[in-house]
Amino acid sequence: MLQFILRRIVQTIPILFGVSLITFALVHLMPGTIADSLVPPGAPAHLRDEINRIYGLDKPLWEQYFLWLKQLLSGNFGISLVTGRPIGDELAAALFNSLKITSIAAVVGFSLGTLFGVLAALNNGRWPDKVFSLLAITGVSVPPFWFAILLVAVFAFTLNWLPAQGMGPEGLPVSWAQWRHMILPIATLSLIPMGVVGRVVRAATLEVLSQEFVTALNAKGLTGPVVREHIARNAAPTVLAVMGLQFGHLIGGSILVETVFNWPGTGKLLNLAIFSGDIPTIQATVLVLSVVFVMLNLAVDAAQAAIDPRMRR
Partner 1 sequence: MLAAERTPMKSARWLVPLLACAAVLLIAIAGNPRARPSGPEPKILRIAMNTGDLPTTTGAPTQGLEGMRFAGYPVFEPLVMWDLRVTDRPPGVIPWLATDWAVDPADHNRWIFHLRRGVTFHDGAPFDADVVVWNFRRFFDPKAPQYEASAAAVAKARASVLKGWEKIDDHTVAITTTTPTSYFPEILTSVLLVSPARWREAGGDWHEFARRPAGTGAFRVEAVDRTVIRLRRNPHYWNTARSAKLDGIDLYAMAEPTTRIAALRSGEVDWVENPPADAIPFLKRNGYQVVTSPMPHVWAYFLRVTPDSPFHDVRVRQAINYAMDRQGIVTLLNGAAQPAKSFWKPGDVRYGHPVNDYRYDPATSLRLLRDAGYPHGLPTPVKVLTAPVASGQMLSLPMNELLQQSARKAGFKLEFVVVEGNQMSALYNNPKSPKMAAVYAVNKGYNTGEMTYLYFWLYPPNLAAYEDPVAKRMMDAYRVNFDPTKETAILATLHERLVDDAPMAWVVHDVNPRAFSPNVRGYTPAQSWYTDLTTVDLAR
Residues at the site binding partner 1, with contacts judged by CB under 8 A: 30-45, 47-48, 50-51, 54-55, 79-86, 93, 97, 149, 152, 156-157, 160-167, 170, 176-177, 180, 224, 259-262, 264, 268, 271-272, 275-277
17 vs 146, which CB is nearer to partner 1?
Answer: 146
Beta carbon of residue 170, minimum distance to partner 1 (angstroms, whole number): 6
Task: From 182, 295, 190, 206, select the one nearest 248 (Cα to Cα).
Answer: 295
The nearer residue to partner 1, 6 or 45, going by C-beta atoms, is 45
> Which residues pair with residue 86 across a beta bridge?
79
Q: Which residues of 298-309 are buried (b: 16+ CB within 10 A; e: fewer)?
A: bebbbbbbeeee
- Nearer to partner 1 (CB atom), residue 43 or residue 222: 43
In terms of CB distance, is 221 or 224 closer to partner 1? 224
CA 284, 286, 292, 298 dihedral sign is negative
Helices (H), 210-311: 212-219, 225-252, 255-260, 266-276, 279-307
What is the closest distance, in whole angstroms, from the C-beta atom of residue 125 to partner 1 in the complex? Answer: 26
Q: How far is the CB of 96 from partner 1 (least distance, A)?
A: 10
- Encode 160-224 in three state secondary structure: CCCCCCCCCCCCCCCCHHHHHHHHHHHHHHCHHHHHHHHHHHHHHHHHHHCCHHHHHHHHCCCCC
To partner 1, the closest distance from the beta carbon of 176 in angstroms equals 6
Is the distance from CB of 142 to CB of 135 less than 8 angstroms? no
* Nearer of residues 6 and 222 to partner 1, judged by Cβ: 222
Query: In the complex with partner 1, which residue's Cβ is closer, 39 or 299?
Result: 39
Q: Where are the alpha helices (DSSP H) in 261-278?
A: 266-276
- In the complex, what is the shortest distance from the CB of residue 179 to partner 1, in angstroms, rounded to a whole number? 8
173 or 307: CB nearest partner 1:
173
Phi, psi of 33 (to 5 degrees): -130, -175
- Nearest approach in angstroms of CB 202 to partner 1 is 24
| Shortest reach from residue 14's CB to partner 1, in Å | 32
